[in-house]
Amino acid sequence: MSEKTRLGNFFEDFHIGQTIAHATPRTITEGDVALYTALTGSRFAVTSADTFAHSLGFPRAPVDDLLAFNMVFGRTVPDISLNAVANLGYAAGRFGHPIYPGDTLNADSTVIGLKENSDGKTGVVYVRSCGVNQRGQIALDYCRWVMVRKRNLQSPTPEPCLPDLPAAVPTSELTVPTGIRIGQYDHALAGSTEFWDDYQVGERIDHVDGMTIEESEHMMATRLYQNTARVHFNQQAEKAGRFGRRIIYGGHIISLARSLSFNGLANAFSIVAINGGRHVAPAFAGDTIYAWSEIIDRLILPGRNDLGALRLRTVATKDQPCAEFPYKTTDGRYAASVVLDFDYTVIIPRRT
């Protein structure tokens, strides 16, 4: 094989403190936004209409938070998870400056943890990835950990180093976009009369609707984000893999769950934190995704009496509606239908 081609990093190629500047900056276009809407069905008013965004103080409709997240994630794949067995989880994710069409995203990652698995064939790599716009303003940064194959099974085992990650992003570290005002907020245009005050801790919301994933859609989504992981787009390679077929990129499942959550959380117009998350099981083309959410906490934002924050757990299932809120069985295992367990924080108007 030519030395000019790259096979990606294997577990033994990572070391603590290593910083990787990822290739291929990405300018977000109006076409990207339209395609994201076509692939996910997202209906949140602030990212759908310039006029609605103006009424809140945005200069124009910002890019959907999860479109920005997936674009940053896509930058990192060739260096971090090209040789991954599975993406295991997320933590300490903070959204910063809003991204608008015309902005360019760059990304880098720092290795913050390593632990070889007992089989000696794989290890878990922990990284903090950061996406910035063309002015150097942070759009988001988050931690994730991924199980990566070893190239050489005889390579030395590194000293285990596990990062200390918070259970949730503190309220003091949540960033409300500058200049946001709620005085002209139109709940009819937003699609719901429920504000921060109307949700209770422990409340569960069945988002009712389902969305079937087509083969062409998940392939297009993976390419949109320039996610080069083989498990998502190379059927010839995956035919001999664990499942015999391509799996759906987990970030696409997160986007679908967020889109479905509109029915019940339409006024939760911006994601400000990713507290934790786990892709519980794979999803495949032909699966129908449903979702439900639990209110984990209601948070008061310092200095704001017009906005509050909700910490949510959104659970996505495949081929099972969520009227009975499937989650975990009595022995603590996830129910067979669960594909995603996602813990995040959103901002939402308060009754002033």
Kindly report, residue by residue over 253-292, the tens digit of the pLDDT: 999 999 999 999 999 999 999 999 999 999 999 999 999 9
Whether residues 211 and 291 share a domain: the answer is yes
Whether residues 126 and 222 share a domain: the answer is no
Whether residues 225 and 319 share a domain: the answer is yes
| Type of residue at 255 | S
Q: Residue 304, by phi and psi: left (phi above 0), alpha (psi -120 to 50) or beta?
A: beta
Whether residues 342 and 238 share a domain: the answer is yes
State the pLDDT confidence band at 178, using cuts at 50, 70 and 90: confident
Whether residues 339 and 195 share a domain: the answer is yes
Residue where a domain terminates, one of 134, 150, 166: 150
Q: What is the mean pLDDT of residues 5-30?
A: 94
* pLDDT for 2: 61
Number of domains in the chain: 2
Whether residues 21 and 127 share a domain: the answer is yes
**Residues 75, 17: Cα–Cα separation, whole Å:** 19
Residue 52 lies inside a defined structural domain of this protein: no
State the pLDDT confidence band at 1, using cuts at 50, 70 and 90: low
Q: What is the mean pLDDT of residues 74-89?
A: 89
Whether residues 282 and 140 share a domain: the answer is no
Print the domain residue range for 258: 182-352
**Residues 69, 139: Cα–Cα separation, whole Å:** 9
Residue 345 lies inside a defined structural domain of this protein: yes
| 94-127 residue pLDDT tens | 999 999 999 999 999 999 999 999 888 899 999 9
Residue 113 lies inside a defined structural domain of this protein: yes
Whether residues 321 and 187 share a domain: the answer is yes
Residue where a domain terminates, one of 150, 166, 199: 150
Query: ∠ CA 45-49-50 to the nearest 5 degrees?
Result: 130
Residue 130 lies inside a defined structural domain of this protein: yes
Residue 343 lies inside a defined structural domain of this protein: yes
Q: What pTM value is reported for the model? A: 0.95
Per-residue pLDDT for 135 more than 70?
A: yes
Residue where a domain terminates, one of 133, 150, 167: 150
The DSSP output letter for 32 is H
Instruction: Quote the percentage of the chain above a pLDDT of 90.
Output: 82
Whether residues 186 and 320 share a domain: the answer is yes
Check if the beta carbon of residue 75 is closer than 8 Å to that of residue 135. no
Residue 159 lies inside a defined structural domain of this protein: no
Let me know if 142 is exposed, middle or buried by CB neighbors in 10 A (0-12, 13-18, 19+): buried
Question: Rounded to 10 degrees, what is the CA torsion of 283, 284, 288, 290?
Answer: 20
CATH number for 97: 3.10.129.10
Per-residue pLDDT for 184 more than 60?
A: yes
Residue 259 lies inside a defined structural domain of this protein: yes
Residue 54 lies inside a defined structural domain of this protein: no
| Type of residue at 8 | G
Whether residues 119 and 230 share a domain: the answer is no
Whether residues 330 and 191 share a domain: the answer is yes
Whether residues 188 and 272 share a domain: the answer is yes
